[in-house]
Amino acid sequence: MRHVSLIVALAAFWVLLSGVFTPFLLAAGLGSVFAVVWFADRRMKVLDVEGHPSHLSVRALTYWPWLLWEIVKSGWDVTKRILHPRLPISPCLVRVPTSQQTNVGRVIYANSITLTPGTISLELTEGEILVHALTREGAEGLATGDMDRRATAFEAAL
């Protein structure tokens, strides 16, 4: 299944970038796609669960839009604080507990925190993440556990 999904993804990417649909270029693209998949699987041994997590595709359709909306909301808040000097910033460090069971799940959660403007994951350990937040409100938003629950649900596909 990973082979098929990688072939489809690479072929779609090839067509998207080239925009030319002559038989020769389509055949060359398809040959390149098969060569890349063969090298990734046989020679490099990177076509595995971590290298190509195709099993996360369905869950990504719900997690990524939610994460994008969180990034937009946080970006707007940070922008307001930069442009309006009376809005306070109160940098703080907080330790946020994690409920993910795998390393991939914890990394997804830590990266989601870092992608959200105003927060940065500094240290990832077995049961918690040390986070620098631009404001106390941002830190309290992480303490609610909504992002943790969603990252754990996303991880459940693993």
Quick one: DSSP state of residue 40?
Answer: I
Q: How far apart are CA 156 and CA 158, in angstroms?
A: 5
pLDDT band at 2 (very low <50, low <70, confident <90, very high): confident
CB 98 within 8 A of CB 84: no
The pLDDT of residue 138 is above 80: yes
Quick one: DSSP state of residue 43?
Answer: I
Q: How far is CA 129 from CA 69, 82, 112, 125, 143, in A?
A: 22, 26, 12, 6, 11
Helix (H, G, I), strand (E, B) or coil at 148: helix
User: What pLDDT, in 10s, does the model give residues 84-109?
Assistant: 888 889 999 999 999 998 888 899 99
Q: Is the pTM of this model over 0.75?
A: no
